[in-house]
Structure 1
Amino acid sequence: MAKVLITGATENVGTAVIDALSKLQHNLDLYAGVRAINEDKNKFANYTIQFSKFDFTDFTSYQPALAGCDILFLLRPPQISEVEKYFKPIVDTCKAEGVKHIVFLSVQGVENSKIIPHHKIEQLLVESKIAYTFLRPAYFMQNFTTTLRHDLIQHQQIYLPASRAKFTLIDVRDIGKVAAKILINISAHINQSYDLTSKESLTFSEMAETLSRNLGIDIQFKSPNLIHFFLTKRKEKMPVMLILVMIMLHYFPRFQQEPATTDWVEKITGRAPTSFEQFIHDHRTLLKA
């Protein structure tokens, strides 16, 4: 029985992976990597899973969590960008403990964007000679129920410096389903990379129109300049690092080639990816005040 450690287990993607695995037959020995076992295990009361203390900022947690681990599901917390400081020790520990495969949650377009941490992490994994699978998802639909929710609920607007840039989208639940299918058949995905998208490519103006139509609320899209965006978010007490991540996610795509949609979700899971309208329908309560 292969031991699988899922990092970021309490976050959107980690939880989606665990949920998707719970709906499939498998022989995996699942461990949720969490920072505080006693507090976090309640979230998984309905799942068959064990727990390991794993904290990206606590180097002493790496070895005990990875001991005996065969497969690691690795993601990058948004607040951690120092690859050499945090991710190299993780990869070195994986090598020392005999981890056989790492499934890494990267980002679409990473191969053409050397400034983002995911690019360096992918390079680190390739150089480690550990078998890998790179999941490169598009823009998370769940951003509307997390980082963008405040503006949506309080101001009925999307406030981002994205202008007319087009974004491919993905429902985090579909990422979980893809990851689950890969984890239970890992040998079929050795050293592969998959761009994960829905079938849609939309501007934020188009997303605002879709939200308005489906929620029955007039949602406006406003694209501020970078100074106004930064100052507005600082007034809202958003951490500087998160503001910079928001700028990287939404401003730089204005100067890049429009990302392509792919059919990997359907190929791997056997089901069509979730549409943006379906996502809105499923999360209607969260998206309305």
Structure 2
Amino acid sequence: MSTMTTPAAPALTLRDSFIELPARERARALLDDGTFRELLGPFDRIESPWLSLQGIVCQADDGAVIARGTIDGKPAVIAAIESAFQGGSIGEVSGSKIAAALELALRDCERGRIVQPVVLFETGGVRLQEANLGLAVIAEIQAAIVALRRHVPVVGVIAGMVGCFGGMSLAAGLCSYLIATKQGRLGMNGPEVIEQEAGIEELDASDRRRVWQMIGGEQRVATGLADALVDDDAHAIRAAIRDAFARGVPTAHRSEQVSVYLERLARIDPANVSPETMREVFEQDSAAAPRKEQ
């Protein structure tokens, strides 16, 4: 009599989706069990003073979660942006929380107490209702990343589904290491903005396949604008973050390689830009100039 064995469950069913988690739970999933401690949480009610004046309901944490704890027993701080509130846009309060968290980590590092910083990007960029204030605080975030990365790697994660755009895409580019999923997107301008300003002939924002081919996580890793492509799995992302910190501070950050990227830009034909041609430009010299310490 033959017996029938039950096939093993597909690996997909064993994953713990990171994308489906709200910002607070994303931060909790990356920290060691029992170490999550939120700073300026909802009960502190640090809200935007500007949104209510424009008839917009505020959120008690202004869409930014700051958590301290440990990763593999080492002190860490995570700044997680909540995409469900105003599309993850950065305003005066949410941006100040992120900048202050990084600045406090910098102060600790300068005193010899290394704190591992992680930024979970999920944002369309500056909050239009707080435009100038939001832009100013994004500049503070960028300055804090540049100062902090001299002491310890600053690790960014773009998981999805909003992506990372606007001024915060520049902040992501300043990170020592950038981790992305296939669902994540990275660009200065979002597809809808490009279509609105340049026309549908330039980019059809409804063509999701095309959009992800151009600015999705897989393409950004293939063209050297992100460092690691991971599955939508909390454990995989945590492992990638752990690996990034283990690699130490890069010998040269992306933003310090101006001549390299200018040379690449010079080899791009604006009339023939495609995912394939962009990869070709990177592949021609990626082996000749490794960026990171191994």
TM-score by length of 1: 0.34
* Structure index of larger Rg: 2
Q: Which has the higher contact order (CA 8 A, sep 6+)?
A: 1
TM-score by length of 2: 0.34
Which has the larger share of strand? 1
